[in-house]
Structure 1
Amino acid sequence: MATRSLPILRRLRSYPISPFHRRSVTYMPRPGEGASRTVTLIPGDGIGPLVTGAVQQVFASMHAPIEFEAFEVHGHMNSIPKEVMDSIQRNKVCLKGGLATPVGGGVNSLNMQLRRELDLYASLVNCFNLPGLPSRHENVDIVVIRENTEGEYSGLEHEVVPGVVESLKVITKFCSERIAKYAFEYAYLNDRKKVTAVHKANIMKLADGLFLESCREISKDYPGIEYNEIIVDNCCMQLVSKPEQFDVMVTPNLYGNLVANTAAGIAGGTGVMPGGNVGQDYAIFEQGASAGNVGNEKLVEKKRANPTALLLSSAMMLRHLQFPSFADRLETAVMKVVGEGKCRTKDLGGESTTQEVVDAVIAAID
């Protein structure tokens, strides 16, 4: 099996982390890895400034070696400003709040522009049970890896004649193979046992057929990892009835969005699921599943947005930047606050504000 790995969100562990987790392992950084890093920050729209502000407060409290370079970007803009793209390309890493995508109206999604221009071809969402947080199912620990640059999200639409619109779904062998490679590499490096390809090849025989063919080819290089396939509609049914059967899931673009949000809802809600988008050179970390919470005016007005997902995403970012001890401290503190149940936002059954959750996390770190 090839030993060269694609960019990985390094060693993300999605199960509860004890205060002594990994203490027996000595992390030996290369010279210079402990130097402070500059990260581009996009607070975004709606609850974005609340939850990114929460991360900034927690990072300052724990003296994390991160400096933020912040920019105002909003979903109604025609494009990402050049100075923002320059910053991300210079810093290589970005932390982002949600950017609202207008429905209709001809305005392009800035989220898609970022993914396309930076070639962030892999979206990773980690859906798992948090200790002490009740959910309908136990033993949920699913990683959804989604192709991020093509499929139905290619945005290739036109009106053929008045009242008839044609939308093109683009699937390529190159993109299918590299997302499959990423999924198997992730499974291999994180001691995962199974990769499931999600598809609709029974109907889209050529497009999804090509995606499946690519996954099958790549799976041959990883004989130690179980590989199976599931049709997307059956996948949704299985997720809500028996989610513990899934481990790593690899999907085309649209299916990944649906599967990740479904899995997040099963495991505890979109407010607690971390995620990120990575490519060969750049990475953007953000809330793993949004499901429309970005523009929730009530959450913004009452300052009750749940910062848990972005705090856990920022821990992923710290590990990606080779600061594993800071990532461990942050994850441990967040898990402790959620597990104790004394300080929870409304989506988790409580009445706490964003700031109260932040204060609790900072206290747990201290």
Structure 2
Amino acid sequence: MNGDETPRISDVMTLTRSFASVATQTVTLVPGDGVGRELSESVKAVFKAAEAPIEWEQFDLSGHVSANDGLMKETLASLRRNKVGLKGILYTPVSRLGHASFNVSMRKDLDIYASISLIKNIPGVKGRFNDIDLAIIRENTEGEYSGLEHISFPGVVESLKIVTRYKTERIARFAFDFALKNNRKRVTCVHKANIMKLGDGLFLRTVRDIFEKEYSMSGITLNDMIVDNASMQLVSRPQQFDVLVLPNLYGNILSNVGAGLVGGPGIIAGTSIGREYAVFEPGCRHVGEDIGGKNEANPTAMMLSAAMMLKHLNLNKHANRISTAVYRTIEQGQCKTRDMGGNNSTTEFTKAVISSL
């Protein structure tokens, strides 16, 4: 790859980097707020038991702190060095004006432009529907999350939504390549172009253009759906969806809706990918501050995201051992956290996964 060529990045399950051996890899670890520290400790325990060759460079920062904080700058520097990170969810205050979100800053500064949430039924976890298997691919760096707001007059706030052809082209290619690499047949572009004719209109037209010029003969089909209809369809007939490609805000919302259909945020794996950097984190971003420190959280999403990270690092054997152990533990049904209908603790679930290794 050279110049400004947009990478054709496939599903994170097949992304690889070239390593000559299984030498220890250094990964940036950000446990996050709420239940993040407990979930990170679970991952470290499982990795140790599985003898995964990972060395953690850990930064115990909190989203309560401004993105200009020194520790946050050190964390970004670590991600630039290591290229790969594992991250829990960071809290961003709702009402504190001028508080820059580290999540948004990280994605912008490192150009981590594609977010993937894998919404799929897991045997042993009761969902609202069966046979759900879809991927939500969200543009990560612009849209309503551009952070450009100002008060134009007392009582009047203007918030700018940014949509560019360049960034829409690359998220479209990412989604189509994902579909090709994973034998998925349908890509649905979700938008609100009937109302936001310029912004969402550009997003929709660009996705269509890329499909017609580069993927029309690939065997993939493309359709589009207005976001309010897509929301209704997702909660009434989710099996119709395969891959969804969306602007930033819509992707965030529908990822949470999808999580609610298959068992909650505790089981949704995900990642954010850019040209140079990859940060693996739960695909449904709930901090869980209300249960933080209570040893109640489900570590499945964090473990499966960490397994995806191992595959990204070409450590397929370790990744498969860990993910298989997680799925086996859940399917056997002998150890369930509260969100899965049981009363086992985070620690007990982690020990069960280690036993399943």
Q: What TM-score do the two structures reach when normalised by structure 1?
A: 0.91
Of 38, 43, 62, the residue aligned with 2:50 is 62
Of 208, 211, 228, the residue aligned with 1:216 is 208
Of 229-238 and 322-331, more deviation after overlay is shown by 322-331
1:230-269 alignment, distance < 5 Å = 230-269=225-264
Structure 1 portions without partners, runs of 5+: 14-26
1:344 Cα deviation after fit: 1.1
Give the counterpart letter for 2:121 in structure 1. N
Give the counterpart letter for 1:239 in structure 2. L
Using the alignment, how far apart are the partners of 1:82 and 1:163 within structure 2?
34
Give the equivalent residue in structure 2 for 1:6: 8
Of 74, 77, 87, the residue aligned with 1:86 is 77
Give the equivalent residue in structure 2 for 1:74: 62
Q: Residue 31 and residue 162 in structure 1: after superposition, are their counterparts in 2 closer, same or farther (change >3 A)?
A: closer
Of 192-201 and 30-39, more deviation after overlay is shown by 30-39
Contact residue 142 and residue 246 of structure 1 kept, 8 A: yes
Q: Residue 50 and residue 12 in structure 1: after superposition, are their counterparts in 2 closer, same or farther (change >3 A)?
A: farther
Q: Does 1:131 align with 2:123?
A: yes
- Paired residue secondary structure (1:302): coil
Of 90, 96, 101, the residue aligned with 1:105 is 96
Cα deviations across residues 174-213 of structure 1 (Å, max 9, x unaligned)? 1111000100011111111111100000000110010011
Using the alignment, how far apart are the partners of 1:12 and 1:143 within structure 2?
14
Contact residue 6 and residue 280 of structure 1 kept, 8 A: no
Give the equivalent residue in structure 2 for 1:144: 136
1:1-366 alignment, distance < 5 Å = 5-11=7-13, 32-79=20-67, 81-106=72-97, 107-220=99-212, 221-222=214-215, 223=217, 224-290=219-285, 293-297=286-290, 299-365=291-357
Give the counterpart letter for 1:354 in structure 2. T
Using the alignment, how far apart are the partners of 2:166 and 2:6 within structure 1?
17
Cα deviations across residues 215-273 of structure 1 (Å, max 9, x unaligned)? 10111212211111000000010001100000010000000001111111101211100
Q: Which runs of 4+ in 1 moved over 4 A?
A: none
Q: Residue 187 and residue 9 in structure 1: after superposition, are their counterparts in 2 closer, same or farther (change >3 A)?
A: closer
Give the equivalent residue in structure 2 for 1:21: none
1:6 Cα deviation after fit: 2.5
Contact residue 275 and residue 286 of structure 1 kept, 8 A: yes
Q: What TM-score do the two structures reach when normalised by structure 2?
A: 0.93
1:296 Cα deviation after fit: 2.5
Q: Residue 325 and residue 4 in structure 1: after superposition, are their counterparts in 2 closer, same or farther (change >3 A)?
A: farther
Cα deviations across residues 49-71 of structure 1 (Å, max 9, x unaligned)? 01011100000000001110001
Contact residue 33 and residue 289 of structure 2 kept, 8 A: no
Structure 1 vs Structure 2 CA RMSD: 1.8
Using the alignment, how far apart are the partners of 1:226 and 1:241 within structure 2?
22
Give the length in aligned residue pairs. 346
Using the alignment, how far apart are the partners of 1:164 and 1:86 within structure 2?
38
Using the alignment, how far apart are the partners of 1:168 and 1:238 within structure 2?
29
Contact residue 158 and residue 167 of structure 1 kept, 8 A: yes
Give the counterpart letter for 1:58 in structure 2. V
